[in-house]
Amino acid sequence: MEYKCFDNRELSWLKFNVRVLEEAEDTANPFCERLSFASIFQSNLDEFFGVRVGSLYDQMLVSEEIRDNKTNMTCREQLLAVFDQVRMLTQRKDAVYAALDKGLEQRGIDIASYGEMDAEDTEFLDVYFEHEVRPLLAPQVVGKKQPFPFLKNKAIYAVVILGDKKAVKGSKESKKDSKKGAKKENKNSKLGIVPCSIDVLPRLVRIPTHPNRFMLMEELILHYVARIFTHFEIKSKSLIRVLRNADIDPDEEMYDDDTDFRQVMEQLVNRRRRLCPIKLEYSREMDDSVIEQICKYIKLKKTYVFRSESPLDVSFFSKLSDLLRGDKTLFYEKYTPRVPERFDLNRSVMRQIEEKDRFLFFPYESISPFLKLLHEAADDPDVVSVKMTLYRVANDSKIVEALIRAAENGKEVDVLVELRARFDEANNIGWSRRLEEAGCSVVYGLDQLKVHSKLCLITKKTEGHISYITQIGTGNYNEKTSRLYTDFSLMTAHQGIGGEASEVFNRMYLGEVMEETKYFMVAPRCLRNKILDKIDIEIARAKAGEPAYVGAKMNSLTDKVIIEKLIEASCAGVKIDLVVRGACCLIAGVWGKTENISIRSIVGRYLEHSRIYIFGQEDPEVYISSADFMTRNTTRRVEVATPVYDEEIKERVLSIFRVLMADNVKARVQLADGTYVRAAAGGEPLNAQEYFMK
């Protein structure tokens, strides 16, 4: 059978989320970690609909002829293919939930329905609903004078089909001919809606007569809905949840030279809450006419509607996990990031970096040496300035605190805060204000280009001499994610790299991009072309009969130009190893095209986030980077890849890559038909993440 070399980005991403769901299914994982993977699967899918499906939907409105440049699928074809996959995935998710629910029950936690309650339980629920819940509800009957309400993004609602008002016994109304038929009934039916996601009410209602027995708030409200709509007949009822388009971008029309960009982003964040619905989920059987009615109200086609047997939101799993904390076997063994032996925190970190390049590997190693570096820079009288890019930071960021401290100590602190970091806009807007109030100089990025690079530059002036300490990372300046994501942080006193980092900052502050570089690769002008050039060198080596190799690790691979160059390299005989966690539009192992390429994905305890580029078999060039091989990274963002010159660190990065390629526990290998299977478990089991922990 002949296979194609390209996969659709959206369908490939769904394959990644299948790998997440597999971790929820995998009984080899501790039970509470399986709960966590089920929650991650759902939140991933929610974001996918809000961003990717929302983007396809918007494109389709612009033109029916916009096509995917890898598979030639139109937006409509992609959406229909996505929906087919999501329906199958929803059934699989329901089965996973049923298994996890049973596992909870075996461990003494019961998510019960009203029908499973005994008399004492129902007595409690009756009182609880009347006194604690009902006073806070805001039910609505949709009619001519009561328009269909706005449905909040991700909120759960009880939807009820209401019949005619109950007639008083013996009245003329009660004696009307009952043979009017279903058409009249449907015509007279009304829609009742009750919001169930109420901040002041717990999602899990604890039943006091049983230890760890709960009922979901939305199920409780749905059960008692007849007490809410007392003057109507309840003909059917269900729970629904709407996801809204989250694909926002600032339009040029929104601002001019006199408008503050931060105000524009605040407006956009507020606008996101009211963007059009992109998905409707429901949990009970509902007549097609009812679904059509709801879709009409929210202006959504039925193809965007999905039924789920499991709860519409399983984020409550985290609270149930907390109840089981006493049993350590249900969780991953606790791991505390260590301070590497290469650092002596009793000495100046700046001095140690000036002696030799330093390297951190998160989450296995602690971020504390980098934090100490920032605090030293804030206090060192020789430091004149600190410059940094911020994309996503922690809510209580110690990194920002260090920058504020530096500014308060009289240093020049220049911070580029990217306000367009999706779903972190509000957090970044808040931090940008804090930084400005402390005396930092804050800029918000470049027109049409997000600044995604992870770059920090400390400039010293000693006896009139300028010197630099530069930090380049693959992940965000975020203490929280440094314990959850695998990332690299390189710190160097290489003066050429420092000078080039200074130029990168200067260009960004002027709203410009780097046109030429000597050390770095810097998107959008000096990254993809350099990658292609280095692959060309390997192609030339292969054609000359010399060993030729390309290795890379990233989150996603979607850039068609790079993909085509990798296919060309494979055809020339270059051996190519790729570790791609998420979406991958290149298919490996296709005879005559990509048989020299291997692709694997690792999904495990930590989120694989580091990026590595390797060129050459003998004495290879090694880079770490903030950029995936995605068009948005290579052409629409400011990204930085840095060479690793220190031989010890270089060998360490190569060793890390080799271990990832040898993983036969958490790795999935891509086959020539685009599917993924678990890596063959030959020899000793090797879980790369556990290996790095040890």
Query: Is 465 annotated as catalytic?
Result: no
Catalytic member of 223, 231, 375, 452: 452
568 near 539, Cβ under 8 Å?
yes
Cβ neighbours of residue 641 closer than 8 Å, sequence gap 6 or more: 520, 521, 522, 527, 611, 613, 623, 624, 625, 626, 627
Cα 526 from Cα 536, distance rounded (Å): 16
First to last CA, the chain: 44
* SS3 letters across 110-170: EECCHHHCCHHHHHHHHHHHHHHHHHHCCCEEECCCCCCCCCCCCCEEEEEEEEEECCCCC
- Name the E strands within 355-464: 358-362, 383-390, 412-417, 441-443, 450-451, 455-462
Cα 598 from Cα 576, distance rounded (Å): 6
Token readout for 566 is: 């990798």
Cα 149 from Cα 146, distance rounded (Å): 8
The SS3 assignment for 626 reads coil
Instruction: Return the bridge partners of 485, or none.
Output: 607
Backbone angles phi, psi at 663, to 5 degrees: -55, 125
Token readout for 465 is: 């001499």
335 near 693, Cβ under 8 Å?
yes
**Of all residues in the chain, what percent are helix, strand and coil, respectively (each to 5)?**
40, 25, 35
Instruction: Return the bridge partners of 359, or none.
Output: 490
The SS3 assignment for 647 reads helix
Give catalytic residue positions: 452
